[in-house]
Structure 1
Amino acid sequence: MDEFESLPFFEIDSAYRIEANFKRLQYLDASKEAVAEISFLINRDSVQFLLYKYSGNEKLLFLPYTDLTTGFETHTSGRYLIIPFPNMDKVLIDFNKSMNIDCAYTHEPPCGWPPRDNHFNFPIRAGAKFFQDKNWKKLTKQPKYKKGNAFYPDLLKEAKYPNHVDRSLMKFPISVRAIINIDGSISNPVMKHGFQEDFDKVVLNAFTKMGKGSFEPAELNGNKVRKYLIFVIDPKYFK
């Protein structure tokens, strides 16, 4: 038997144990629809997420979500919690128990994506981190934008959005998957969650215009390598 490698987790933080308001939704028998919603306060933000039936057990609920660690510190397909179906209008949510989506452990490409509604506009540094077993290439350096937190303003500063697209209607983040090349440029951007077709084209075009040397590329044992990243862009950058 191969030696099992322990899973990496963030340090346990009691701030991520939260009592949430719980509400059942009307379409309880729809197999692929949300069956409940929860609302709670975290990081001074009011959040409302959807819950789904957990396959094979009607006494459990499935809470998939993404946050600003997605694609960087945690898996590109997001994470999830399994929650007992409560009998009351309150339920305890513990993000320290967050797990990676199953494909994080199968060497397969990203397997689905949590609903756009279930996204935090800030990092949730609790629960499971990226998993890499001993057969995976372990990067010795992750890609990094040279100007730090200025990436999204720099990316979109010259974007010309179509006049017929009402950006005020954008309520949820969009997400783009792209490659950071060894020369620090970005290529192969793909819209994972968009807003409107013409608008999405403008955003993807902005990614392709980022010049060489914009990023410090990923490295593996001192050698520069290409790396996929998921970029989750908050609506505030499109105002």
Structure 2
Amino acid sequence: MSEALLTTRAGVDAPAPGGRLFWRRLRAQRAVTAATAVFALLVLVALAAPLLTALEGQDPNAFHPTLVDSASGGVPIGSFGGISGEHWLGVEPQTGRDLFARIVYGARVSLGVAFVATLLQVALGVGLGLFAALGGRWADQIVSRVTDVAAALPMLVITLGLLAVAPASVPRPVLITLIIAGLGWFGTSKIVRAGALALKTLDHVSAARLSGWGTWAIARRELLPALAAPVITYAVLL
């Protein structure tokens, strides 16, 4: 009976698998819940942009020269930048375009760029981090030096420069996404490299290697599940 009780007790108290334990701890954080609610609200506003602008009755690209004072350099006429029942957040200086309509439509571009750029950053960082940790001494040296160079580059300056010289036919959101992804992967790469170097010395990884598993099979089955928590956390910050 005592053995059965101990078995039951052990089954109850046994830790959950890494993925479920991570999500359980994540949901228990109030800050995470609040941040998720804010993010969900932003996504909802971006998706509902046509409905919201129709409710306000404004077009994000419509100019309203009568709502700005040209003699004063295009300052919006009225209190608080021209806020009124027709223009909920006022109008843009010099052009008179409705700010609320431009913000809700701009949220679509911003969130789209952020989401795709983060996916590309994480994919590049994970791949290069694993390559550095598992590819041997020369691979580690090459990736580490490239990572140092990428970390030292001024992303904002490079982005502004490329936006200025790129042809007008290149979509700006696509260009910004590629620049951010191409220069911002180094953080993920460092996290993955450091974690993989520590994990590959553990007994279960050594046992998998002795069993005949290939390098990338070990990375996929043994290393990536253990690296999921820090990578997801960093991706959320990105």
Shorter-chain TM-score above 0.5: no
TM-score, normalized by length of structure 2? 0.21
Q: Which has the higher strand share?
A: 1
Larger Rg belongs to: 2
- TM-score, normalised by the number of residues in structure 1: 0.21
